[in-house]
Amino acid sequence: MFQHLRIKSKITLGLGAIVAIFLLLLALAYNNLSRLSTANEWDRHTLEVLLETNHISTSTLQIQAATRGFMLTGNELIIVPIQEEEAEARAHLARSRALTVDNPHQQERLGRLGPMLDHWISNVINPLIEKRREVNRSLGVSQQVASANDVLNGTRAVADIRKLIDEIAKEETRLLAVRSKASTELQQTMFLLLGGGGLVCLLLAAIIGALLTNALLGPLNSLTRAVGRIARGDQAARAEVASNDEMGKVTVEFNRMAQAIQDSQAKELAATNELRAKVDALLDVVSKAASGDLTGSVAVGGVDAIGRLGDGLGTMFDNLRRLLNNVQKAGIQVTTSATEIAASARQQEATGIEQAQTSVEVLSTTKEISANTAQLLRTMEDATAVADYTTSATAEAQNNLKRMDLTMQHMVSATDSINAKLAALSEKASNINSVLITITKVADQTNILSLNAAIEAEKAGDAGRGFSVVATEIRRLSDQTSVSAWDIDQMLKEMQSAVAASVMGMDKFSEEVRRSVGEVRQVSNQLSSVMDQVQKLAPQFDLVLQGMQSQAVGASQISDTMMQLNDATQQTVESLKATSEAVYQLQYAASDLQSSVATFAVNS
C-alpha cells in the first residue's frame, strides 16, 4: 500500500504513526491520573466529615462535663464555655451537612442530630443549670444539691447523640474503605497501561521501521543487480519498478538509458553492415579495373568516408581513362617523333665525318707544340745547372766566412792575452815604483845624514875637515841618486801611461774585432739564407723541368688523344648508323604500345 508514496511521505508516515501511538498512550495515562486525583479528593472529603463529627461529639461531651461541674460546685464560671461549645457544635454540624450533600443517608442522620441536640440542651442542660442557680440563691453555693437522677438525667440523650455520631462515622469509614480500594485499582490499571502501552509502542515502531527499510532498499537492490548484469554484458537486463517514489523514477530512467544503449548498438551494427556492402561494391569495381575493364562505374556515393572514397575512385577511374586516351595519342606522337629522330641521325652522321677531318688538322698542330716544348725543356735544364753551380759557390763562400770567423776569434783571444800581459807589465811598473820610492827615501836619509855630518864636521873645526869633504861627497851622491830616481820615476810614469794607452788601444781593437766577427756572422747568415733560397730554387727548377717534361708528354698524349678522337668520330658515325637502326626499332615499339593500349576498354 506504500508503493505509490514518495520516500519523504513514507518516512513522515512511519514516524507519524509512532508519534500518534505515543500520544494515545499519554492521553490514557493522563485520564487515569485525573481519576486517581479525584479518588484522592474523595478520601480527603470523607476524612473531613469524620473530623467534623468528632468535633460535634467532643463539644457534646464538653457541654455535659461543664454542666456536671456546675452541678457539683455551683460555680458560675464553669458553665461559661457551654454557650461557646454549643455554637461550635452547631457550626460543625452545619459544615457536616454541607459536606455530605451527595449522601442522603448521612443527610437524614445529621438532620436528626440537629433536633436531638436542641432538645438535649433546652430540655436537659438548661433546666439543670436553672435548678442549680435556684439552689445557689436559696442555700448558698457550697451546698451540694444534685441527686443521682439529676446526674443521670440527660445521659440517655447524650448516648443517643453519640450513637448517631458513631453511625455517621461508621458510614464514613465504610465509604473510605470503598474509595481506597477503588484508588488502588486505579493505580494498578495505570501500571498495566504504561507497561503494556510501552511494549505495544516499541513493537509498532519496529514494524514501521522494517517496512520503511524494505520500501527504501528494495528498489535500490533491484537497480544494483540490473547494473551488474549490464556490466556483465546482458544488454536486455532491466530493473524492476516496484514503487512510484524517487527510486522508482531513477529505475525508470535507468531502464530508459539501458534501452537507449541497446538501441544505439543495434544502430551501429546496421551501419557496419551497410558499410561492408558499400566496400564490397567498391571492391567489385576495383577488381574489374585491375583486370583491365575500366568501364565499371562506382555507384557508391554520399558524404560519409566510404561515399567520399567511392567518389574519389570514380574520379580516379575517369582520370585513368583520360590518361589511357592520352597514352594512345602519345604512342602516335612517339612514332612520328621517331621518324624525325631518324632523319636527324642521318644529318648527324654527315657532321661526324666533317669532325673527323677537323681532328686531323688539330693533330698536326699538337705535334708542333710538342716540338716547342722539347726545346724549352733543354733551356730549363741549362738553368738548373747554373742554379746548382750557384749553390756550390755560395757554400764555399760560407766555409770561407766560417774560417774568417775562426781567425777573428783567435784574434780576440790574442788581444785578450796581450791585455793580460799589459796588465802584468803595469803591475811590474808599480813594483818598480815602490822600489823607487824606497831608493828616494834612502837618498833623502843620506842627504840628511850628509847635512848632519857636515854640521858635525864644522863643529869639530879643523879635525873634521876631511870628514866634511866626505860628507859633501855623500851629499852629492845622494843628490845624484835623487835625480836618477826622479828620472826613473818619470820614465816609469811614461811607461805606465804608454801601457794604459796600449791597453785602451787593445780594448778598442778587440772591440773592433768582435764587431767584425758579428758582421762576418751576419754576412755568413745572409749567405746561408741565400744558399737556402738557391737550394730551394733548384727543386723549383726541377719542378718546372718536370712540368715541362709532363707538358711534352701531355702534348704527345694530346696527339694520341686526337688520334683516338678521330677513331671515336669514326665510331660515332658508326653509332649514328646504329642509332638510326634503334630509331626504327623505336617506331616498331611505339606501334606495339598503341596496340597494347588499345586492349583497355575505354568507352567514355
Partner 1 sequence: MKVLVFSIGADRYGLRLGAIARVLPAAQLRQLPLAPPFVAGLMDLHGEPVPVLDLSRLAGVTPLQIWFDTRIILVDYEVGGKGGNSCVRPLGLLAEHVLGIETLIEADLADSGIQAAPFLGQVAATGAGMVQLVELAQLLPLDVRALLFATSAVAP
- Catalog residues that contact partner 1 under the rule CB under 8 A: 440, 444-445, 447-448, 451-452, 454-455, 458-459, 472, 475
Minimum distance of partner 1 from residue 413's CB (angstroms): 45
Minimum distance of partner 1 from residue 442's CB (angstroms): 12
Q: How far is CA 306 from the centre of its chain?
A: 47
Residue closer to partner 1 (CB basis): 232 or 459: 459
Residue closer to partner 1 (CB basis): 378 or 459: 459
Beta bridge mates, 601: 293
Minimum distance of partner 1 from residue 504's CB (angstroms): 32
CB atoms within 10 A of CB 301: 13
Distance (Å, rounded) from C-alpha 48 to C-alpha 54? 10
Residue closer to partner 1 (CB basis): 389 or 486: 486
DSSP state letter for 5:
S
Amino acid at 59: S
Minimum distance of partner 1 from residue 451's CB (angstroms): 4
Distance (Å, rounded) from C-alpha 515 to C-alpha 526? 16
Minimum distance of partner 1 from residue 444's CB (angstroms): 6
Minimum distance of partner 1 from residue 479's CB (angstroms): 8
Distance (Å, rounded) from C-alpha 564 to C-alpha 566? 5
Q: How far is CA 141 from the centre of its chain?
A: 132
Residue closer to partner 1 (CB basis): 408 or 471: 471
Retrieve residue 366's grid coordinates: 699538337
Q: Where are the beta strands (DSSP E) in 180-250?
A: none
Locus of grid cell 869639530: 460
Residue closer to partner 1 (CB basis): 400 or 480: 480
Distance (Å, rounded) from C-alpha 350 to C-alpha 357? 12
Instruction: Give me the DSSP letters along 106-162.
Output: HHHHHHHHHHHHHHHIIIIIHHHHHHHHHHHHHH-TT-----HHHHHTTHHHHHHHH
CB–CB of 572/352 below 8 Å?
A: yes
Retrieve residue 270's grid coordinates: 546496421
Question: Considering only CA atoms, which of 312, 269, 317, 267 is closest in space to residue 292?
Answer: 317
Residue closer to partner 1 (CB basis): 454 or 586: 454
Locus of grid cell 577488381: 287
Question: Alpha-carbon dihedral of residues 206, 208, 213, 216, nearest 10 degrees?
Answer: -170
Residues in the chain: 604
Residue closer to partner 1 (CB basis): 447 or 484: 447
Minimum distance of partner 1 from residue 467's CB (angstroms): 13
For the chain, what is the total number of helices (H) and then of strands (E)? 9, 0
Residue closer to partner 1 (CB basis): 150 or 489: 489
Minimum distance of partner 1 from residue 421's CB (angstroms): 34
Residue closer to partner 1 (CB basis): 478 or 559: 478
Distance (Å, rounded) from C-alpha 2 to C-alpha 207? 14
Residue closer to partner 1 (CB basis): 21 or 454: 454
Minimum distance of partner 1 from residue 458's CB (angstroms): 4
Is residue 589 helix, strand or coil? helix
Retrieve residue 414's grid coordinates: 790574442
Minimum distance of partner 1 from residue 431's CB (angstroms): 21
Question: Alpha-carbon dihedral of residues 375, 381, 384, 386, nearest 10 degrees?
Answer: -90
Minimum distance of partner 1 from residue 448's CB (angstroms): 5
Residue closer to partner 1 (CB basis): 215 or 485: 485
Residue closer to partner 1 (CB basis): 427 or 487: 487
Question: Considering only CA atoms, which of 505, 491, 518, 493 is closest in space to residue 418?
Answer: 505
Instruction: Give me the DSSP letters along 20-61.
Output: HHHHHHHHHHHHHHHHHHHHHHHHHHHHHHHHHHHHHHHHHH
Residue closer to partner 1 (CB basis): 43 or 479: 479
CB atoms within 10 A of CB 62: 17
Question: Considering only CA atoms, which of 327, 322, 292, 346 is closest in space to residue 590?
Answer: 327
Minimum distance of partner 1 from residue 495's CB (angstroms): 22
Minimum distance of partner 1 from residue 496's CB (angstroms): 20
